[in-house]
């Protein structure tokens, strides 16, 4: 079979700067095993498959695979999949695009050249257990008292969120995945000074197999759902991510009418035909 295939860069202002995503269009005829095999083969952090929706309120359905497993929701696959769906002629039923995925229906808005998704509800919030926080401190090589605040902020991948004092401290971290084990740990710190290009720097450690993610929509969504209501971040801000990996991701966050919106630009990099 021949299927349209895209590879895009998400949360990037120019090609090759953001987080890469593979998108397969019209994938209804593929089996779950074929989707999982293709995701292992592309070896990107995520590969997505565009399908006909099963919910009449949705414009399209997407399945999201890492090389190891299927995810109910992820941020950069949501924006990248929507971008490709629109590029291939998709037209929403209403003002917003409605994506159907394992986490339910996700609204997506266009804002100029950028797209933004409404953050899905957290599956888990609340304080981080002392023993978990102590393990995170060991795994990132910092004394526990250097952690300014922390919170469970899981919207699917299992995020534990940690606030540090400075961007310099955050960028210097060399994670020890043997200590962190398979925890998904998201770290954020303010970017201060006249040279600041954003309000915050973010890093995402996703365990030994996946390592550090370049730019992470789900983490930025869950961080905002914690930090903005807690008064630790403004209602609108720009986050930088990927610096430690040589990327230049930019994530725009805003709370509008009580909902957290997470957005950025998507760059076309590859379009072709997938032969299976």
21 and 96 fall within a common domain: yes
Q: What is the largest CA-CA distance in the chain?
A: 56
What is the predicted pLDDT for the residue at 213?
Answer: 93
Side-chain-side CA neighbours of 10 within 13 Å: the count stands at 33
What is the predicted pLDDT for the residue at 155?
Answer: 86
46 a catalytic residue? yes
CATH assignment of the domain containing 241: 3.10.310.10
What is the predicted pLDDT for the residue at 157?
Answer: 82
Task: Express each pLDDT in 188-225 by its tens digit.
Answer: 999 999 999 999 999 999 988 889 999 999 999 999 99
What does the radius of gyration of the chain's CA atoms come to, in whole angstroms? 18
Question: Does residue 96 lie in a domain region?
Answer: yes
CA distance 201 to 223: 12
102 and 146 fall within a common domain: no
Q: What is the mean pLDDT of the chain?
A: 95
52 and 98 fall within a common domain: yes
251 and 269 fall within a common domain: no
Domain membership of residue 110 as a residue range: 2-119+263-275
172 and 240 fall within a common domain: yes
**From 17, 46, 100, 201, the catalytic residue:** 46
Mean pLDDT within 123-146: 96
Number of residues that this document lists for the chain: 276
Q: How confident is the model at residue 156 (pLDDT cuts 50, 70, 90)?
A: confident
pTM to 2 decimals? Answer: 0.92
Q: Residue 103: is its pLDDT beyond 90?
A: no
250 and 182 fall within a common domain: yes
What is the percentage of the chain residues whose pLDDT exceeds 90? Answer: 89
76 and 167 fall within a common domain: no
């Amino acid at each position: 079979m021949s299927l349209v295939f895209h590879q895009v860069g998400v949360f990037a202002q120019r090609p090759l700067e953001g987080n890469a995503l593979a998108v397969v269009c019209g994938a209804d005829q593929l089996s779950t095993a074929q989707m999982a095999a293709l995701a292992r083969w592309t070896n990107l952090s995520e590969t997505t498959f565009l399908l006909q929706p099963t919910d009449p309120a949705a414009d399209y359905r997407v399945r999201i695979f890492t090389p190891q497993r299927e995810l109910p929701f992820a941020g950069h696959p949501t924006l990248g999949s929507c971008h490709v769906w629109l590029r291939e002629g998709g037209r929403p039923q209403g003002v917003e695009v409605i994506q159907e995925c394992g986490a339910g229906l996700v609204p997506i808005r266009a804002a100029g050249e950028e797209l933004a998704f409404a953050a899905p509800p957290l599956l888990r919030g609340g304080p981080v257990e002392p023993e978990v926080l102590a393990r995170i401190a060991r795994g990132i090589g910092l004394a526990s008292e250097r952690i300014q605040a922390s919170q469970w902020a899981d919207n699917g991948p299992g995020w534990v969120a940690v606030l540090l004092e400075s961007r310099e401290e955050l960028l210097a971290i060399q994670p020890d995945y043997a200590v962190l084990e398979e925890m998904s740990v998201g770290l954020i710190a303010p970017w201060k000074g006249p040279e600041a290009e954003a309000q915050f720097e973010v890093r995402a450690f996703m365990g030994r197999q996946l390592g550090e993610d370049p730019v992470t929509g789900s983490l930025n969504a869950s961080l905002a759902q914690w930090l903005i209501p807690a008064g630790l971040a403004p209602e609108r801000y720009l986050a930088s991510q990927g610096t430690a990996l040589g990327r230049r991701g930019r994530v725009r966050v805003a709370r509008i009418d009580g909902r957290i919106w997470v957005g950025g630009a998507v760059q076309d990099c590859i379009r072709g035909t997938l032969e299976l």
